[in-house]
A and B are shown apart, each in its own frame.
Chain A
Amino acid sequence: MPAQPPKKALQFLRWFCREDFLEEIEGDLIELFAIQFPEASRQASWTFFWWVLRYFRPEFIKSFQSGTLMNTALVKHNLLISYRGFTRNKTAFLINLIGLSTSLATAFFIVLWVQSEWKMDRFHEKDERLYQVMQNYQLPEDKIKVTSWTPGPLSQGLRDEFPELEYATSFKTGNFFDGILSASEQAFKATPVYADQDFLQVFSFPLITGDKSQVLTEPGSAVISQSLAKKLFGTAFKAVGQTVEWNKSEGASARYKGSFIISGVIEDISPHSSMQFDILLPYQFFMDHTWGVERWNNHPVSTAMILRQGVDLSLLDQKITQLVQAKDGAYNGVYFLKQFSSQYLYGTYENGVLVGGRIDYLWLFVCIACLILIIASINFMNLSTAKASIRLKEIGVKKTLGVSRGELIGQFITESLLLSFLALLVAFVLVAVLLQPFNAITGKQLSLNFSLIHVMLFTGITVLTGLLSSTYPAFYLSAFKPIQVLKGKIERSVGELWIRQGLVVFQFVISIFLIVAVLVISQQMSYIHNKNLGYDRHHILSLRTIGPLFEKMEPFFEEIRKLPEVQSIANSNTNLVACENFTWQPLPHAEGEHTEHILLNVFIVTPEFLQTYGIQIKEGRNFSKDFGTETSKVILNETAVKEMGLNNPIGSMITFWDVPVEVIGVVKDFRYHSMYKRVEPCIFRLFNEGDNFGRFIWIKLEAGQQVKEIDKIADVYQQFNPGLAMEYGFVDEEYQQLYESENRVAALSKYFAVIAILISCLGLFGLAAFTAEKRTKEIGIRKILGASEWRIVTLLSKDFTVMVLMAILIAMPLSFVIGHRWLESFADKIQLQSWVYVLAAAIALLIAWLTVGVQTFRAARANPVNSLRAE
């Protein structure tokens, strides 16, 4: 056997070449190949390809027009037949239309939501080179904590030492720095970011006026947002050069108060930015007014940078770590760089390893969208194959008249595409109507602006759904043999029945799974909301120390204490729900080589704090005025005692902030932070004499009649802070906000589960209707022979019951495994209980019975005479 020419080339030739020329050309080419091969065996294959390619010209290319979709007459005919089909089977048509449009609307919502989440933080011009500095802290027991906090002077250090980066900026964000901005006798609350000169070079927040390299260089300059400028000065351009007063007089150690000249105005921050603020203030101002920002062993700020092209990231990571270690010998963490925009979606770390973040929810919802679309497609498949018998004659006649299978398939695909596009229209109406409520649940500002991407995505999804739902019916229906069909004999294979039932089972597996998911999620949520956290978070009003009130705290407290409904009032430097103040504490017996540190959360409080929050004291006592000044006394929690290794904590001396202090009490562990975290060690101490107040005021109220009490407190507040409305919150509400995204997922998943179940039931309804219709004669005969109505109902529902039971069997282990995995992310979680599954199964079964029952009962009640007289 001589050498073989390359197969691929021959295949290609056969694919495009006209059949009447093919044999000659192939033969000649093979012969030539055989001649050439011995001379230049290596090149021969390539030459062969080249030869083949030269035949790729109009004379030799066969006609690819099959005529299925090109033929307008045929398309018209298909549309007409589809239309007639729709009008003839109104139930099936409506079921399909409702199912498809609901699922498409759901999918569109999810597309909008995913797209909006995806865009978060990606609008910065140099997004792909914009990195944030992160670090891994070493905690006891080899735990690693990942944070984005960095030392205050880091950006300066980076600028000085690393030519690898274009710009670096350190900045301080956080709405607990909210203050009052006043000018021309007007005052507004504003959220600041304290940023150094390169902030606007790193982040692309567009300036309306001003030069981004200049606006933040002067120590006394500030940049405000457009809407704030409008409120204060009328227009953005008038604002430049004006002087504004910034007052944020709260917190013990820092009083952020000063006047600034506006050097620029930025556009209002896009909702696609995770950083939201109204005003940029100089970083130097923050440094000057905050203790310890200039220290390298303190990590109070964030740092971001623009890298140059082609920088080796891991090398830079090491260099940054070395830089910090050179400045702070005790530092034992590891720095690394992370693309700024990825933090939003991929922000969850577990023991130093990236495990996901919001991206999990994105995937979850994309999966749900796909599942719901599949459920609706299954309805279409099932109804059209079940109703095949009605169309058999049509197919038989068409086939006898010479319609090819391809054309029949084309017809069915046209039909389902037509239906899909009708559903698309309905879906658009649904989306337009429901967009507002959806925004309310998700907390987004989504809108239907028809960009090309949207149109393409939506059309794509619609076409895909149409194709998905039509392929099986199209191939199934077009495969009938005309003679058998016209004779009225169709062999319904067992396989076909299996497929249809299997699809129903699949639908119900998804539905049951979603029911279980909803039950588990809502149980876990209510567990979190009602769990005993070790402190009482109810009826506690929270205020912020803001404005002139700060100067007159003691009299304000006295006034409030006089109100009969107030049980106690306390003050602290940090929020209990989301503690933001922690420090590194050397272990008490740290001498010589023992330089181990633990991370301590610090609560600086007034003596009433523990009482206000109902935190229980396990040993020792609370702070008390009876003992004189107690600024050198501290209270620890149980975890702190354990991790410090104190055997007799009461009365023992530890070093805290370089000063020896005495432990006077131990409180039972209580949960601050969110449930994802373990209880961390914490320490309570009093404010120093003199600078005695922090930014949070807590007022414990009597239960009931809260509105009245708040009014009274607001009156007092007005006396101390004239002109400023009292902004307040409740601790239990703030606690719920910690679980914002979980609450949203819980709410959304409920709706999606309901939609999935409804669509599955629609399909079941259609199938049941069809079965009942087909078996009218059988039912009539049975009734005449004496079968009771009940007997007939059970007869008809039996098949469906079996299907749902099978679905339950499959769905249970699946939902157990996935539910278990979801719960694992919580430090405190519920046990998966069996009643959840029983309930889910019961719900599914009940809904299925109800759906089928309506149909079967009607069939069973019908007068047999009517069904039997027809012939």
Chain B
Amino acid sequence: MQIPSLGGFEELVLLTVAAQHNKAYGVSIKESLEKELNKTVSISAIHVALKRMNEKGFVQSRFGGITQDRGGRRKKFYVITSLGKAAIDRQFEIRTRIYRQIPKLSFI
């Protein structure tokens, strides 16, 4: 089966979604990414990435329950699908393979 391509930022978001299994939503992804990357990430960029990956079938979403914070709005949680998992696996595989081809280099 042809796996749709996965952009760089999308990959990061997808990894985070996978890492925060079943508890990933907009703000949590943003916070985690900011911590990992040590730079600000815009929330809209995350939403765009999530929408695209939803269309590609890499993630699924569900609404959480109503809470008092967030002005009564429900959270939308994302879970990685098997296709999504396949996509990051392939990505990881490709990268590792190519990485291994790097000759031993020493920078003095």
Partner-B contacts on A (CB < 8 A): 2, 21, 23-32, 34-35, 51, 54-55, 57, 59-60
Contacts and interface: CB of A to CB of B under 8 A. Distances in A.
B48 interface: yes
B76 interface: yes
A28 B42 CA distance: 12
Given A24-B75, A27-B70, A35-B27, 17 more contacts: A23-B76, A24-B25, A24-B47, A24-B76, A27-B71, A27-B73, A27-B75, A27-B76, A28-B43, A28-B70, A30-B71, A30-B73, A31-B26, A32-B30, A51-B42, A51-B43, A55-B44
Nearest to A2: B69
Interface of B: 25-27, 30, 42-44, 47-48, 51, 63, 69-71, 73-76
Contacts of B42: 51, 54
A30 to B, nearest CB: 5
A279 B22 CA distance: 94
Contacts of A30: 69-71, 73
B26 A34 contact: no
Contacts of B69: 2, 30-31, 34
Given A51-B43, A54-B42, A55-B44, A28 B27 contact: yes
Contacts of A59: 48, 51
B27 A31 contact: yes
18 contacts: A21-B51, A23-B63, A23-B73, A23-B74, A24-B47, A26-B71, A27-B26, A27-B74, A28-B26, A28-B27, A28-B47, A29-B43, A30-B71, A31-B26, A32-B43, A54-B42, A59-B48, A59-B51
Contacts of B25: 24, 28
Q: Max chain A CB contacts within 10 Å: which of B42, B44, B63?
A: B44
Contacts of B70: 27-28, 30-31, 34
A259 to B, nearest CB: 85
A35 B40 CA distance: 14
A291 B26 CA distance: 94
Contacts of A21: 47, 51
B44 A26 contact: no
B16 to A, nearest CB: 14
Q: Closest 10 A-B residue pairs measured CB to CB?
A: A27-B73, A28-B26, A24-B76, A54-B44, A27-B70, A30-B71, A31-B70, A31-B27, A30-B70, A23-B73
Contacts of A32: 27, 30, 43
A26 B73 CA distance: 7
A24 B69 CA distance: 13
Contacts of A26: 71, 73
Nearest to B61: A24
Q: Max chain A CB contacts within 10 Å: which of B47, B74, B76?
A: B47
Contacts of B73: 23-24, 26-27, 30
Contacts of A57: 44, 48
B71 to A, nearest CB: 5
A634 to B, nearest CB: 94
A35 B47 CA distance: 18
B65 to A, nearest CB: 12
A29 B75 CA distance: 11
The interface residues of chain A, by DSSP majority, are classed as helix
Contacts of A34: 69-70
A57 B51 CA distance: 13
A29 B76 CA distance: 13
B106 to A, nearest CB: 45
A31 to B, nearest CB: 5
A2 B72 CA distance: 13
B35 to A, nearest CB: 14
Q: Max chain B CB contacts within 10 Å: which of A23, A25, A28, A34?
A: A28
B76 to A, nearest CB: 4
Contacts of B26: 24-25, 27-28, 31
A27 B71 CA distance: 7
Contact of B47 (A23, A25, A31): A25
A27 B73 CA distance: 5
Nearest to B51: A59
A22 B75 CA distance: 11
A752 B70 CA distance: 64
Nearest to A18: B51
A547 B63 CA distance: 103
Nearest to A23: B73
B77 to A, nearest CB: 10
A532 B51 CA distance: 91
Contacts of B47: 21, 24-25, 28, 55, 60
A28 B71 CA distance: 10
A27 B66 CA distance: 11
Nearest to B72: A27
A365 B53 CA distance: 65
Nearest to A24: B76
A182 to B, nearest CB: 85
Contacts of A29: 43
A59 to B, nearest CB: 6
A363 B43 CA distance: 56
Nearest to A54: B44
A32 B42 CA distance: 11
A51 B40 CA distance: 13
Contacts of B74: 23-24, 27
A48 to B, nearest CB: 11
A416 to B, nearest CB: 43
B44 to A, nearest CB: 4
A659 B42 CA distance: 96
A55 B42 CA distance: 11
Contacts of A51: 42-44
Nearest to A29: B43
Nearest to B31: A35
A358 to B, nearest CB: 59
A1 to B, nearest CB: 10
Contacts of A2: 69
A57 B45 CA distance: 11
A60 B50 CA distance: 12
B69 to A, nearest CB: 7
Contacts of B71: 26-27, 30
Contacts of B63: 23
Nearest to B71: A30
A25 B76 CA distance: 9
A829 B75 CA distance: 80
Nearest to B45: A54
Nearest to A4: B71
Q: Max chain B CB contacts within 10 Å: which of A2, A24, A26, A54?
A: A24
A685 B73 CA distance: 98
Contacts of B44: 51, 54-55, 57
Contacts of A28: 25-27, 43, 47, 70
Contacts of A31: 26-27, 69-70
Contacts of B76: 23-24, 27
A2 B69 CA distance: 9
Contacts of B51: 21, 59
A32 B73 CA distance: 13
A51 B48 CA distance: 13
B105 to A, nearest CB: 41
A771 to B, nearest CB: 56
A21 to B, nearest CB: 7
Contacts of B43: 28-29, 32, 51
Nearest to B50: A24
